[in-house]
Amino acid sequence: MPHLFDRRTILTGAAATGLAATLGLPRAGAQPAAGAGSGALTTKTVPSSGVAIPVIGLGTWITFNVGDNADALAERTAVMQAFFEAGGGMIDSSPMYGSSQATIGHGLASSAFPTPCLPPTRSGRARPPTALRRSPRPSACGAFRASP
């Protein structure tokens, strides 16, 4: 049975792919979605408050778990600033995400964001009262607080 590809074809294709990635050439057929970056964001209403927030939020697991690293804290604050400027409205957080809540608190305390802060009210299923007791103390933004 004849082979569709020989070694030379595979190596040439791999080299071309690497070169395209290095030069930053766009992927074939990759185009922004129609209307991307314009128009109103899709929102849903939070039943308990009646506040409409965008359906896409900012996740913080791992990425915002930076401890007291000043450079990383400044970078995450810039990410939050860009998120809010683009119309973002919900940041996902949990006491189980390491220092993520403190990182969010640091960003909220050190910048003037155009979006009001709605504190989260739920915790993990495993022993919620304990999880809530371990959560950072409430501040102007509920469970979030600035790093020490």
Say how many Å lie between the first and final Cα of the chain, rounded. Answer: 68
Q: Which of 36-50, 117-131, 133-147 has the lowest mean pLDDT?
A: 133-147
Using 50, 70 and 90 to split pLDDT, how confident is the model at 132?
very low
Distance between CA atoms of residues 134 and 136, nearest Å: 6
128 CB-near residues (< 8 Å, 6+ apart): 122
Is residue 52 within a helix (H) or strand (E), and if so which, with residue range?
strand 52-54
Per-residue pLDDT of 45-87, as tens digits, reads 988 888 888 888 899 999 999 999 999 999 999 999 888 888 8
pTM comes to 0.56
pLDDT band at 143 (very low <50, low <70, confident <90, very high): very low
- Collapsing DSSP states into helix, strand and coil, what is residue 78? helix
